[in-house]
Amino acid sequence: MRTTNRQSLYGEVTARIIADLEQGRLPWVQPWDAASCPLAMPHNAASGRSYSGINILILWAAVVERGFTSQRWLTYRQAQAAGGHVRRGEKGTIVCYADRFTPKDEREQAREDDREARSIAFLKRFTVFNVDQCEDLPAGLTGAPAIPDPVLSIAVADSLITMSGADFRIGGGEAFYMPAHDYVQVPPQAAFGEPVNWYRTALHELGHWTGHASRLGRDQSGRFGSSAYAREELIAEMACAFICASLGIEPTVRHADYIGAWLELLRSDERAIVRAASAASKAADFLLAFGEEGS
């Protein structure tokens, strides 16, 4: 992919997120009517695999903007392979695939210098269509998905917290993760107006916990007010939203007071939201694996 195309895609995605934040909307919080479109992670209807990273935000936004009733997506060829087709005139949604490659010249130079070759990050565009935009698909791809039982969702969240093995302390009046001592502290459930908010808060702090050097190894050295601090809060915020949506718990705003700092971060680095969303997906997957172990 040419550099201009790559930069354009980063810029387009970042501009879209900035526009939402400027309006006070957080694109990782479910703003659509769950009665019209069930709460879920966007996923590929053919493979069943959930989309990750920045594609989650792109596809959630498309559901909102275009009034889709499903979180299931297909490429043009997948729709055809399934026996259906995309309706004439339908406009697809552009998502991206992040990867890295090492140029031949760099590999050769690295061998001469006896060092590791440096790879280059790139984004590749591809187009997907919501199943609402398709016709003649088999019922298995278009039928109403099962709606998670709220009680079971909380039970899985409980199991996830326990099975993580995190030093998880309940008490005090504030929720936080202490990187220096590697523990999470959350006030007791009685301190929260709705019990589900306790779980949202706990999952946000566990999102920070995944970044410890012994786990996913993110930079957590930033002081309050710094760009590094804002970046880590953005990662934990999105990780919590991705986990909640995966479990059937509606994501909500945990730290809207950071919007200004996030805007500053995104305006200064058009790749920041892509990197943060990728890190958030890794954090969510890391934690969700514990829920699977306990099920």
| Contact (CB, 8 A) for 108 and 144 | no
The predicted structure's pLDDT at residue 220: 94
Task: Please say if the pLDDT value at position 24 is more than 50.
Answer: yes
Domain boundaries, the chain: 3-38+40-142, 150-294
Whether the predicted pLDDT of 247 surpasses 60: yes
- pLDDT for residue 255: 64
User: Per-residue pLDDT averaged across 65-84, rounded?
Assistant: 95
Task: Give the H or E element holding residue 261.
Answer: helix 259-268
Token look-up 């997957």 returns: 285
**C-alpha–C-alpha distance, residues 121 and 272, integer Å:** 13
Q: Structure pTM?
A: 0.87
Q: Is the separation of the CB atoms in 168 and 184 below 8 Å?
A: yes
pLDDT given for residue 4 in this prediction: 43
Structure tokens at 183: 């523990």
Would you give the distance in Å from CA 139 to the centre of its chain? 28
pLDDT category, 12, cuts 50, 70, 90?
A: confident
Yes or no: say if 217 and 211 are a contact pair by the CB < 8 Å rule.
yes
